Structure 1
């Protein structure tokens, strides 16, 4: 869930963009080389305050192969005032696409005004687990976010679709991990949110999840989104998939974790940005890459 905590939340990585998306930085080998095991373990969700609350998200216990399309997303934030770049992390998931190379994540994981705009060195590691990369790694080639996010940071549009390059063996990510179908519209009923929360009591090394009933968000900050309760996953879970089952018994991805306000009444609530018509357009543009 968005580094699930702050409404104005924390951020991640990638490069250039507009509604249709534009090519990201090149140099897959250089990006992989940058992400040493030390940097991966040190990556923190941007803007993430520490939290010592008991977790409401629990470790995923249904076997790694069932959700091997879900993984950690690593990136570097733009240089700060001292010129220093910082590492950050979110969650992303492979969605079905014509080019078999698209993941969905949160908009703030690729672009955030608070930290200076576009992220860089975006690297996706599916089924990440305690430093292991069982299905390789993939760098971003193109990113798509909605103008409502890039211009106004409207949390209702806090989603992004990223086209990835091939892995070290020349394979597309969907060929390796499989994918869930994205669904652009309401799906009633319970949902599951998955993510790699980093801030205490978590450490970002294992996949966590929350499952339960959802309801519409009425708060103006994410009106039109949905909320899942109880769920207290922390920063790093941002961008993680929200899965639901349709009336036709099809498991689909319906949105991504966006944020959790700091107010006490929201301490055990996760907010999700649901896929809508704008998300459909972004996905269509990225799968043509």
Structure 2
């Protein structure tokens, strides 16, 4: 399962050298994920007309997605809406916080009722009530329970930045299923055949070691597929009361199979663009590739748009997220986090080149990627202390582990990384056929204590269906 040191070094060298010099690859699956997710029920299905289980959802055709995703069209942000003042006021989105670990000697909670995690860096006293939509920029950001051995900061800026949602804490010592006596030769089994049991560890591996994020060298011309995503969410959370209803996340330019070489698609987290259960898409969703590439805003400096947005400011006109996020999302650490992703289409200026042509490349998306073949490099713009959101950072995190809120769904990918709020939605890249490919995005994160880690959705056929739908709608 583990790759050789030589292969890992080679893979990381490919990622770090030049993400821009990408050859567009067709979307393909390489080995299905060996999980028991196919029989998982989709909560909220009756209200949205969703199939009763994930197996059926994975079989959706374009027509099924079009019938269901009726709100994919978005009004583009008015030209000039995102002033520098608004960009600097935008709160970073937080990853979801993991639930508190179980006391020693107790069993993990039942899959149907996992301990909900909360936002990684929420200000004290700002937990949203149950059912209230989360704010943009945070992977799912419901109330944040305190994780064992970690404390929330005593004080924060008036409008705390959003962070990727934090995943549930994996059990330190997964419980083992009781051993069954072996059947005697020539005798029938002591028990009748039964469906495969859930893993004794509930889909969780030991937590990864902390990996320190490193700022990338300016300019970001060779990394221009990465950027910052901004959204407007009037009335969402305490920031609205202070007039600060803007949020910021991270995002990545991805290839468009229906428009080879001319993609206008961006990949991010579902909680960065949609409120989740009972909510709607945020407004004025905008992407700025290679934000602050020339360090024009670094160190508190001021600059004009041409300096901090060298490739322009791109307003979104379409977006789609998973049925699970729309039907269930918005609560800390629930099963919807396993499908916390979104694809956004931005619009070029009249007669202008596509986003891919403008930045010089786009990353293909690798669905159903074999976990044991992955070595993750995460990219994002963390904005909560000790970061300020002005610098593109990277975590070379290596092989991901498994982290699960719901054992009947594909376990999330989990890596060690110190990035904080604002990195939500940031792309996770791995090497496929010698080139970088996107395999996940920041959704959950724990940014205090040790270890510090983040988790992202495993992109299976549901993600591939949403991606194919938006590609063909352009």
Judging changes above 3 Å, is the alpha-carbon distance between structure 1 residues 80 and 146 closer, same or farther for their aligned structure 2 residues? closer
Q: CA deviation at 1:278?
A: 1.1
- Asked if the contact 2:428–2:438 (Cα under 8 Å) also holds between the matched residues in 1, the reply is yes
Mapped pair 1:228 → 2:415: yes
Residue by residue over 1:99-127, the C-alpha shift from the partner in whole angstroms, topping out at 9 and shown as x without a partner, is: 41101000000112489542110110000
Question: How far is 1:227 from its partner?
Answer: 0.9
State the distance in 2 between where 1:43 and 1:57 align: 22
User: 1 CA distance for matches of 2:427 and 2:456?
Assistant: 9
What is residue 10 of structure 1 aligned with on the other side?
none
Structure 2 CA distance for aligned equivalents of residues 256 and 171 of structure 1: 26
Q: Structure 2 CA distance, aligned partners of 1:236 and 1:118?
A: 18
Q: Are the structure 2 counterparts of residues 62 and 273 from structure 1 closer, same or farther at C-alpha, using a change threshold of 3 Å?
A: farther
CA contact (8 A) 1:20 1:145 kept: no
The reply on whether 1:191 has 2:376 as its aligned counterpart is: yes
Matches within 5 A, 1:98-137: 98-99=258-259, 100-113=263-276, 117-129=280-292, 130=297, 132-137=308-313
Establish whether residue 179 from structure 1 lines up as the match of residue 342 from structure 2.
no
Give, in whole Å, the separation in 2 of the partners of 1:122 and 1:71.
Answer: 13
- C-alpha separation between the residues in 1 aligned to 2:89 and 2:82? 10
* Matching residue of 1:22: 72
Aligned to 1:90: 249
Range 165-174 or range 215-224, more displaced: 215-224
Q: Which of the pair is proportionally richer in strand?
A: 1
Is 1:161 equivalent to 2:208 in the alignment?
no
C-alpha deviation, 1:191, in angstroms: 0.8
Deviation (angstroms), 1:242: 0.4
**1:251 aligned residue:** 436
Alignment partner of 1:204 is 2:389? yes
CA distance in 1, matches of 2:287, 2:224: 12
2:398 aligned to which of 197, 213, 220: 213
1:276 aligns with 2:323: no
Indicate if the aligned counterparts of 2:277 and 2:328 stay in contact, CA closer than 8 A.
no
Residue 230 (structure 2) aligns with: 74
User: By how many angstroms is 1:19 displaced?
Assistant: 4.3
Whose radius of gyration is greater, 1 or 2? 2
Q: Residue in 1 aligned with 2:162?
A: none
Q: List per-residue Cα deviations over 1:167-206 (Å, max 9, x = no partner).
A: 4762211111110111112242311000011100011111
Structure 2 gap ranges (5+): 1-66, 95-120, 124-151, 154-209, 298-302, 330-335
Residues of 1 paired with 2:271 and 2:374: CA distance? 27
Task: Name the SS of the counterpart of 2:385 in structure 1.
Answer: coil
| In structure 1, C-alpha distance between the alignment counterparts of 2:400 and 2:444, rounded to whole Å | 15
Number of aligned positions between the proteins: 266
Aligned to 1:40: 87
When residues 117 and 20 of structure 1 are mapped into structure 2, their CA distance, relative to the original with a 3 A threshold, is: closer
Contact 2:367 2:459 in 1 (8 A): yes
Query: What's the Cα RMSD here?
Result: 2.8
> For the residues of structure 2 that align with 1:169 and 1:70, how far apart are their CA atoms?
23
TM-score, reference length from structure 2: 0.52
1:275 CA drift (Å): 1.9
Structure 1 unaligned runs (5+)?
1-16
1:104/1:159 contact within 8 Å kept: yes
Deviation at 1:141, TM superposition (A): 0.7
Partners of 2:442 and 2:283 lie apart in 1 by 21
